[in-house]
Amino acid sequence: MSYRSGPRPHGVAALLLTAGLLLSGCAGGSGPKGVNDKGGKGAEGAGGGLGRAVPGPAAEEQTEARVVRPREIPSLGPKTRSRIPEDSRQAVVVTGDAPDSNRAMLVLYERDPVEGWRSVSDPWPAHNALKGWTDDHRQGDLRSPIGVFGLTDAGGRLPDPGTKLPYDRGPAFTLDGVGFEGEPLAGSFDHVVAINYNRRPGTTPLDWTRPLGAGKGGGIWIHVDHGGPTQGCVSLPMGRMKELLRWLDPGSVPQVVMGDVSSLGR
């Protein structure tokens, strides 16, 4: 599935658009028996019949003890968990060590309707924004937004590596220049997944619509890592980026849960 490409910016306009996107950066015991522990018959068998014993309080406690709550994602607090949609079965959890850290770990989780959440990947190293995290992201603040956001759209300069998400390929995903540590930025947008922060879901990652207004930033993506901090995005090594794209399934309503460990633990 892919987008129908609309008019694309050319020349200086394309460079300005790309620069703008970068900035907006498992005991239960045995059950009741008809014969008691001393060899006598149970309540219904007292008259010589073979009736079943009437469960007493102890049996009810054993039954209750066997009820197991679905597993939760361990690093998340109740407030964060409540923001994950009930119908979501995929979560990309990006956790920073501290509010001002620009390094993070990313883990993929899947939710079983009975057993709950389980991790399906090892922790992957990632980068986030230069100055860390914020729950009030602003254009150009060099911080990544904290929260739970949908993942519905992908794209890049290179061909679709096999994702189920709509994928918009084109030269507008070309990026040049150097990062904060002097590292080349070329190839950073070879593959991207748009994070639904201040954007219109169901459109190419290049859509500049900002529902919260331009001042709240935007263009927040998961993209290919260039070896240093980002303007606001989350970045992964190329191999992991391809794995992520192939794993994401729009039918599972994937979400990214991102922020520093203390914020996500609330």
Give the pLDDT score at 25: 56
Of 135, 155, 151, 160, give the one whose Cα is nearest residue 21: 155
- State how far Cα 183 lies from the chain centre: 27
Q: Using one digit for the tens of pLDDT, what is the confidence trace for 32-61?
A: 333 333 344 433 333 444 344 555 555 555
Burial class of residue 153 (count of CB atoms within 10 Å of its CB; 0-12, 13-18, 19+) = buried
84 pLDDT above the threshold of 70: yes
Domain covering 71-264, topology: L,D-transpeptidase catalytic domain-like (2.40.440)
> Which residues, other chains included, contact 35 with Cβ-Cβ below 8 Å and sequence gap of 6+?
41, 42, 45
CA distances from 132 to 135, 137, 253 (A): 11, 11, 27
Give the other-Cβ count within 10 Å of 38's Cβ. 5
- State how far Cα 194 lies from the chain centre: 12
Instruction: For the chain, give every domain's residue range.
Output: 33-67, 71-264
Least confident of 23-37, 90-104, 202-216: 23-37
Least confident of 33-42, 120-129, 142-151, 167-176: 33-42
31 pLDDT above the threshold of 60: no
Strand, helix or coil for residue 105? strand
Q: pLDDT-based confidence at 65, cuts 50/70/90?
A: low
Indicate left, alpha or beta for 142 from its phi (over 0: left) and psi (-120 to 50: alpha). left
Of 92, 145, 133, give the one whose Cα is nearest residue 255: 92
pTM over 0.75: yes
Of 199, 210, 201, 193, give the one whose Cα is nearest residue 256: 193
Least confident of 63-72, 129-138, 164-173, 188-197: 63-72
Q: pLDDT-based confidence at 69, cuts 50/70/90?
A: confident
CB 41 within 8 A of CB 236: no
Of 25, 87, 70, 86, give the one whose Cα is nearest residue 258: 25
17 pLDDT above the threshold of 70: no
